[in-house]
Amino acid sequence: MSGLFDQSTLTAGIRAVSRSYRRIPTASGFSRMKYAVARLCGVSAACSSIAGSRMKGTTTARISMPPSDKDPFVKFAEPRPYADPEAAMQKVLEIASTVKPVQDGRIYIEKINRPFLFEHGGKPAEYTTGMKFAIARGLLWMHESQTYVKFAQAGAETFA
Q: How far is CA 44 from the centre of its chain?
A: 21
Is residue 22, in this structure, part of any structural domain at all?
A: yes
Is residue 23, in this structure, part of any structural domain at all?
A: yes
Please determine, for residue 27, whether its predicted confidence score (pLDDT) is greater than 50: no
48, 23 in Cβ contact below 8 A?
no
128, 62 in Cβ contact below 8 A?
no
Local confidence band at 77 (pLDDT 50, 70, 90 cut-offs) = confident
- For 96-121, the pLDDT digits (tens) are 999 999 999 999 999 999 999 999 99
Domain tally, the chain: 2
Local confidence band at 79 (pLDDT 50, 70, 90 cut-offs) = confident
Q: Is 42 exposed, middle or buried (0-12, 13-18, 19+ CB in 10 A)?
A: exposed
The answer on 90 and 43 residing in a single domain is no
Q: Give dist(CA 158, CA 153) in Å, integer.
A: 9
Query: Could you write out the DSSP letters of every residue in the chain?
Result: ---EEEHHHHHHHHHHHHTTTSS-S-SSHHHHHHHHHHHHTT-SSPPSEEESHHHHS-SEEEEE--SSSS-TTPPP-PPPTT-SHHHHHHHHHHHHHHSPP-STT-EETHHHHHIIIIIS---HHHHHHHHHHHHHTTSEEE-TTSSEEEE-HHHHHHT-
Please determine, for residue 45, whether its predicted confidence score (pLDDT) is greater than 80: no
Is residue 16, in this structure, part of any structural domain at all?
A: yes
Q: Give dist(CA 160, CA 153) in Å, integer.
A: 10
- For 6-18, the pLDDT digits (tens) are 666 666 666 665 5
pLDDT at 39 (0 to 100): 62
Is residue 94, in this structure, part of any structural domain at all?
A: yes
**What's the mean pLDDT when you consider all of the chain?**
74
Is residue 73, in this structure, part of any structural domain at all?
A: no
The answer on 154 and 96 residing in a single domain is yes
Is residue 15, in this structure, part of any structural domain at all?
A: yes
Q: Report CA torsion sign: 45, 51, 55, 58.
A: negative
Residue 59 phi, psi (nearest 5): -110, 10
Is residue 69, in this structure, part of any structural domain at all?
A: no
| Of the residues 16, 31, 64, the one at which a domain ends | 64
Domain membership of residue 147 as a residue range: 85-158
pTM of the model: 0.53
